[in-house]
């Protein structure tokens, strides 16, 4: 069995092993990490040898920590990262390189249609009718996108939304409200087979699926990291928020989408969103204006250039070919707009 895991912000760890009599056997650990002293790798392998195959990530990491010499230094590697690679091997997880990735980046579309396309494309990936897909969104109009379980009245000021011509839509994933304007935000979706995140906890899958964008931001001079559960942050503040939805059917698939702030109009956002003191308190800040830091100032690049460099980075790391939404997929998405995402019943399903 073979498992790989790219430690977020770190290096690749690879584990090969067998299972005999319900226990791990012939465990071998490798990767492009740095580890001192040299024989620490033997201690890691010995700690895993004979471990019950049902041992969880925390239990495997604890075995490794207990066995490591006191002088051990890990760079780009963690005991939890090794444990995750073991769990991925046992789960027969797939890797990024196992797929021919497709890019969809088309003309601006309405907020409700974007919600529908996320569902349709991810359903197609789950059924095996579409390859794993990176979709970069272009917005036809400004919008507030609320999470699947959020209260409409608690999150959005209807007078403010009407004043600024803001459409309110509800997505199928959880998480918080996102304020978007054409030209001021960068939004993308990953629709991936469930096997790509096998062996990862729900929380770990967020950082795993966005590790590529952290690398892309790094190439643009931005030191960014994942701030659990679902924020991408820098020293200057939050720049993005992510959300996920697991879809069943076929072999299953994961929808992972992210909205990044390029040049947010904080005053307008505050006039539309009802951002309470309780929500701000858990972010360690008193001002909502300080919660979102625009990419324009940090990169000095045009929005289109930022998107192009993100796509180029993904292509260099994982491979990427240009694709399109098929006529059938678009017809199904438009039907979902009419019957679900464009209806008051769906948008206000949690009043």
Give 247-272 pLDDT, tens digit per residue.
Answer: 987 789 999 999 999 998 989 999 99
Span 313-335, average pLDDT: 98
Q: What is the pLDDT of residues 150-193, one digit of tens each?
A: 999 999 999 999 999 999 999 999 999 999 999 999 999 999 99
* Residue 280: pLDDT over 50: no
* Residue 113, both tokens: 């249609």
> What is the pLDDT averaged over residues 193-197?
96
Q: What is the share, in percent, of the chain residues with pLDDT greater than 70?
A: 95
Question: Any residues with CB less than 8 A from the CB of 302 and at least 6 apart, and which?
Answer: none
Question: How many whole angstroms separate alpha carbon 311 and alpha carbon 316?
Answer: 9
pLDDT at residue 229, as a whole number: 87
Contact between 236 and 298 under an 8 Å Cβ cutoff? The reply is yes
In the predicted structure, residue 277 carries a pLDDT above the cut 80: no
Looking at residue 20, what is its pLDDT?
Answer: 98
Q: With b meaning 16 or more CB within 10 Å and e meaning fewer, what string describes 71-100?
A: ebebebbbbbbbbbbbbbbbeebbbbeebe
Cα dihedral 295, 300, 304, 310, rounded to 10, equals -60
Q: What is the pLDDT of residues 232-253, one digit of tens each?
A: 999 888 899 999 999 987 789 9
pLDDT in tens, 206-221: 999 999 999 999 999 9
Bridge-based pairing of strands 12-20 and 185-193 is: unpaired
Helix (H) or strand (E) holding 76: none
Q: In the chain, what percentage of residues exceed pLDDT 90? A: 89
Helix (H/G/I), strand (E/B), else coil: 75: strand
> Quick check: helix, strand or coil at residue 210?
coil
pLDDT surpassing 60 at residue 286 = no
Query: Could you read off the pLDDT of 313-322 as tens digits, one per residue?
Result: 999 999 999 9
Q: What are the DSSP E strand ranges found in 137-295? A: 143-146, 167-170, 178-180, 185-193, 225-227, 231-234, 237-247, 253-261
Residue 188: per-residue pLDDT: 98
Query: In the structure, what pLDDT confidence band is assigned to residue 279 with cuts at 50, 70 and 90?
Result: low
Tell me the backbone φ, ψ of residue 304, rounded to 5 degrees. Answer: -60, -35
Q: How far apart are CA 18 and CA 4, in angstroms?
A: 15
Average pLDDT, the chain: 93
Sign for the pseudo-dihedral over CA of 131, 135, 140, 144: positive
The pLDDT of residue 147 is 98
Range of lowest pLDDT (39-48, 146-155, 285-294) = 285-294
Match 């659990």 to its residue by tokens: 228
Which pLDDT does position 8 carry in this prediction? 86
**pLDDT for 293:** 63
The pLDDT score that the predictor gives to residue 9 is: 83
Contact assessment for residue 116 and residue 132, using Cβ atoms and an 8 Å cutoff: no
Answer with the residue of higher pLDDT: 294 or 112. 112
The residue to which tokens 């073991």 are assigned:
86
Predicted pLDDT of residue 289: 55
Q: Is the pLDDT of residue 310 over 50?
A: yes
Write down the residue that tokens 């200057």 correspond to. Answer: 236
β-bridge pairing 231-234 and 237-247: antiparallel
Residues 171/247, Cβ–Cβ less than 8 Å: no
């Amino acid at each position: 069995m073979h498992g790989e895991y790219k430690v977020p912000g770190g290096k690749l760890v690879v584990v090969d092993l067998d299972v005999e009599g319900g226990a791990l056997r012939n465990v071998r650990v490798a990767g492009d990490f740095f580890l001192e002293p040299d024989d620490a790798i033997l201690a890691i392998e010995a700690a895993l040898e004979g471990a019950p195959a049902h041992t969880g990530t925390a239990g495997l990491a604890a075995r490794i920590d207990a066995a490591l010499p006191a002088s051990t230094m890990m760079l780009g590697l963690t005991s939890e990262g090794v444990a995750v690679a073991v769990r991925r091997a046992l789960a027969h997880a797939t890797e990024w390189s196992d797929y021919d990735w497709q890019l969809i980046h088309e003309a601006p579309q309405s907020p409700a249609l974007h919600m529908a396309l996320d569902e349709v494309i991810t359903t197609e990936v789950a059924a095996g009718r579409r390859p794993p897909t990176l979709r970069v969104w272009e917005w036809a109009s400004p919008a507030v996108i609320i999470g699947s379980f959020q209260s409409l009245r608690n999150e959005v000021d209807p007078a403010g939304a009407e004043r600024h011509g803001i459409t309110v839509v509800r997505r199928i994933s959880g998480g918080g409200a996102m304020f978007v304007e054409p030209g001021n935000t960068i939004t993308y979706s990953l629709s991936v087979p469930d096997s790509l995140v096998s062996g990862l906890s729900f929380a770990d899958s967020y950082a795993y699926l966005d590790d590529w964008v952290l690398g892309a931001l790094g190439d643009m001079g931005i030191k960014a990291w994942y701030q659990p559960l679902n924020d991408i942050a820098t020293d200057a503040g939050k720049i993005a928020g992510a959300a996920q939805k697991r879809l069943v059917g076929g072999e299953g698939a994961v929808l992972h989408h992210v909205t990044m702030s390029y040049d947010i109009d904080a005053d307008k956002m505050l006039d539309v969103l009802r951002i309470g003191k309780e929500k701000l308190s858990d972010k360690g800040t008193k001002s909502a204006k300080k919660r979102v830091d625009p990419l324009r100032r940090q990169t000095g690049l045009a929005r289109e250039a930022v998107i192009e460099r993100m796509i180029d980075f993904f292509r260099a790391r994982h491979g990427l070919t240009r694709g399109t939404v098929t006529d059938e997929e678009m017809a199904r998405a438009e039907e979902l707009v009419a019957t679900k995402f464009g209806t008051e019943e769906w948008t206000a399903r949690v009043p």
